[in-house]
Structure 1
Amino acid sequence: MDGSDGASVDGEDEGSGQASPDAGAADTVADASPLAGLFAPERVAVVGATEREGSVGRAVTANLQRSFDGDVVPVNPSAEAVLGLSAVDSVAEADADLAVVIVPPAAAVEVVEQAGEAGTDDVVVITAGFGEGGPEGVARERELVAVADEYDLNLVGPNCLGIISTPVGLNATFAPRNALPGDISFMSQSGAFVTAVLDWAAERDLGFREVVSLGNKAVLDESDFVAHWGADEGTDVVLGYLEGIDDGAGFIETAREVTAETPVVLVKSGRTEAGAHAAASHTGAIAGSEAAYEAGLDQAGVLRAESVQELFDSAAALAGQPVPESDGVAVVTNAGGPGVMATDAVGDSGLELASFTDATHEALSERLPDNANVYNPVDVIGDAPVERIADTMDIVLDDPNVGACVVITCPTATLSFDDFGDAVVAANESGVPLAACLMGGADAANANRRLAKAGVPTYFDPARAVRSLDALRRYREVREREYAAPTEFDVDRGHVRERLAEAARNDETRLGVEAMDLLDAYGIPTPAGEVVDSPSEAERVARDIVGDTADGTDDEAGVVMKLVSPDILHKSDIGGVKVGVPPDDVADAFEDLVSRARRYQPDATVLGVQVQELLDTEDGVETIVGTNRDPQFGPLVLFGLGGVFVEVLEDTTVRVAPVAEPEARRMLDDIDSAPLLRGARGREPVDEDAIVETIGRLSQLVTDFPAILELDVNPLVVTPEGATAVDIRLTIDPDEVAGIDPEAAGEAADGDQHRTTTDTADTTETDR
Structure 2
Amino acid sequence: MSGGLSGMFDPDRVAVVGATDRADSVGRALMENLLADFDGEAVPVNPGRDRVLDRECYPDVGSVPDPVDVAVVVVPAAVAVDAVREAAEAGVESVVVITAGFGETGGEGAARERDLRAVADEYDLDLVGPNSIGVLSTPAGLNATFAPTMALPGDISFMSQSGAFITAVLSWAEERGLGFKDIVSLGNKTVLDEVDFVDHWGDDPDTSVVLGYLEDVSDGRAFIETARETTGNTPLVVVKSGWTDAGAQAASSHTGAIAGSERAYEAGMDQAGAIRVETVEELFDFAQVLSGQPLPDTDDVAVVTNAGGPGVMATDAIGASDLSLASFAESTRADLRAVLPDETGADNPLDLIGDATVDRFRDTLDTVLRDDGVGGAVVIACPTATFDYADLAAVIRECDAAHDKPLVTCLMGGERATAAARALDDDGIPNYFDPARAVRSLDALARYRAISEREYDAPAEFDVDRERAREVLESVERRENNRLGVEAMDLLDAYGIDTPRGEILTDPTDAEAVARRYDGPVVMKIVSPDILHKSDIGGVRVGVPNDEVYDTFETLVARAHNYQSDATVLGVQVQESVDIDAGVETIVGMNRDPQFGPLLLFGLGGIFVEILEDSSFRVAPVSEREARTMTEEIDSAPLLRGARGRDSTDVDAVVEAIQRLSQLVTDFPAIEELDINPLVALPDGAQAVDIRLTVNPTQL
Bin of the TM-score, shorter chain as denominator length: over 0.9
Aligned to 1:404: 376
1:507 offset after TM fit, Å? 4.0
Q: Which residue among 132, 145, 155 is the counterpart of 1:173?
A: 145
Q: 2:606 is paired with a residue of what secondary structure?
A: coil
Alpha carbons 2:476, 2:697 under 8 Å: kept: no
Question: What is the distance in 1 between the residues matched to 2:340 and 2:90?
Answer: 73
Task: Decide whether the 8 Å contact of 1:100 with 1:124 is kept in 2.
Answer: yes
Pair 1:544-2:507 in alignment = no
Q: Counterpart amino acid of 1:100?
A: V
User: What does residue 52 of structure 2 align with?
Assistant: 82
| Residue aligning to 1:761 | none
How many Å apart are 1:495 and its aligned residue? Answer: 1.0
Secondary structure, counterpart of 1:168 in structure 2: coil
Alignment of 1:707 onto 2:680: no
CA distance in 2, matches of 1:503, 1:78: 61
Percent of paired sites with the same residue? 65
Alignment deviations for residues 112-161 of structure 1 (CA, whole Å, 9 cap, x no partner)? 11111111111111111111122111111111111112222111111110
Letter in 1 for 2:112: R
What pairs with 1:583-622 in structure 2 (closer than 5 Å)? 583-622=546-585
Q: Deviations over 1:439-484 (max 9, x none)?
A: 1121112211111110111111010011111111111111121211
CA displacement at 1:428 relative to structure 2: 1.1
Q: What letter corresponds to residue 614 of structure 1 in structure 2?
A: S
Q: Is 2:26 aligned against 1:56?
A: yes
1:544 is paired with a residue whose SS is coil
Structure 1: distance between partners of 2:307 and 2:88: 63
Q: Tell me how far apart the structure 2 counterparts of residues 560 and 117 of structure 1 sit (CA, whole Å).
A: 70
Which residue type is aligned with residue 518 of structure 2?
A: I
**Contact 2:474/2:697 (<8 A) preserved:** no
Q: Which residue of 2 aligns with 1:451?
A: 424
Q: Deviations along 1:172-192, whole A, 9 cap, x unmatched?
A: 111011100000000000000
What's the offset of the Cα at 1:685? 2.4
Q: Are residues 700 and 614 of structure 1, via their aligned partners in 2, closer, same or farther at CA, if it must alter by over 3 Å? A: same
Partner Cα separation in structure 1 for residue 603 and residue 676 of structure 2: 11
**Contact 1:274 1:286 (C-alpha < 8 Å) held by counterparts:** no
Which runs of structure 2 are paired with 1:368-447 in the superposition (5 Å)? 368-429=340-401, 430-447=403-420
Contact 1:33 1:231 (C-alpha < 8 Å) held by counterparts: no
> What CA deviation, in whole Å up to 9, does each residue of 1:387-416 have, x standing for no partner?
101111111111121112111111111121
Mean Cα deviation higher: 353-362 or 215-224: 353-362
In structure 2, runs of 5+ residues without a counterpart are: none
The answer as to 2:93 corresponding to 1:124 is: no
Instruction: Give 2:114's match in structure 1, choosing from 127, 136, 142.
Output: 142
Aligned to 1:634: 597
Q: Which residue of 1 aligns with 2:63?
A: 93
Cα deviation per residue 1:568-602 (whole Å; 9 max; x = unaligned)? 11111111111111111111111111111111111
Alpha-carbon distance in structure 2 between the residues aligned to 1:318 and 1:680? 41
Q: 1:474 is matched with which residue?
A: 447
User: Partners in 2 of 1:421 and 1:139 — Cα distance?
Assistant: 58
The residue that corresponds to 2:476 in the other structure is: 503
| Structure with bigger RCO (C-alpha 8 Å, 6+ apart) | 1
C-alpha distance in structure 1 between counterparts of 2:690 and 2:270, whole Å: 30
Give the letter for the 1:509 counterpart: N
Of 328-337 and 490-499, more deviation after overlay is shown by: 490-499
| 1:754 alignment partner in structure 2 | none
C-alpha distance in structure 1 between counterparts of 2:50 and 2:603, whole Å: 69
In 1: Cα distance, 2:112 partner to 2:411 partner: 53
| 2:232–2:451 contact (8 Å) kept in structure 1 | yes
Q: CA RMSD in A?
A: 1.4
Contact 2:248 2:260 in 1 (8 A): no
Q: Give SS of 2:503's match.
A: strand
Match of 1:729 among 692, 695, 700: 692
Comparing 588-597 with 499-508, greater Cα deviation is found at 499-508
Partner of 2:240: 268
The one-letter code of the counterpart of 2:157 is S
Equivalence for 1:491 = 464
Secondary structure of the 1:545 match is coil
Q: Distance in 2 between matches of 1:325 and 1:562?
A: 56
Q: Report if the CA contact (8 A) 1:482-1:662 is conserved.
A: no
**CA shift for structure 1 position 670:** 2.2
* Partner Cα separation in structure 2 for residue 192 and residue 275 of structure 1: 23
Give yes or no for contact 1:74–1:87 (8 Å, CA) kept in 2: yes
Q: TM-score, normalised by structure 1?
A: 0.89
1:732 deviates by 0.9
Deviations 1:86-137 (A, max 9, x none): 2222211223211111111111111111111111111111111111122111
Cα distance in 2 between the residues matched to 1:275 and 1:590: 42
For 1:204-215, list aligned pairs within 5 A: 204-215=176-187
SS at match of 2:440: helix
Counterpart amino acid of residue 487 in structure 2:
E
- Is the contact between residue 274 and residue 288 of structure 1 (CA under 8 Å) also seen in structure 2? no
Q: CA deviation at 1:273?
A: 3.0
| Change over 3 Å in CA distance of 1:721–1:594 after alignment to 2 | same
TM-score by length of 2: 0.97
Residue identity opposite 2:484 in structure 1: L
Deviation at 1:680, TM superposition (A): 2.0
Deviations 1:209-263 (A, max 9, x none): 0000000111111111111101110000000101011111111111111111100
Q: Post-superposition shift, 1:534?
A: 1.7
Offset at 1:277?
5.8
Q: Secondary structure at the match of 1:671?
A: coil
Q: CA deviation at 1:678?
A: 2.2
Could you tell me how far apart the structure 2 residues matched to 1:70 and 1:735 are? Answer: 52
Question: Is the CA contact (8 Å cut-off) linking 1:73 and 1:85 kept in structure 2?
Answer: yes
Alpha-carbon separation, structure 2, partners of 1:492 and 1:277: 32
Quote the Cα distance in structure 2 between the aligned partners of 1:532 and 1:705.
28
Q: Encode CA deviations 1:604-653: one digit per residue, 9 max, x unaligned.
A: 11111111122222331111000111111111111111111111111111
In structure 2, C-alpha distance between the alignment counterparts of 1:274 and 1:515, rounded to whole Å: 32
Which SS does the other structure have where 1:539 is aligned? helix
In 2, distance between residues paired with 1:309 and 1:210?
20
Quick one: distance in 2 between partners of 1:67 and 1:40?
Answer: 13
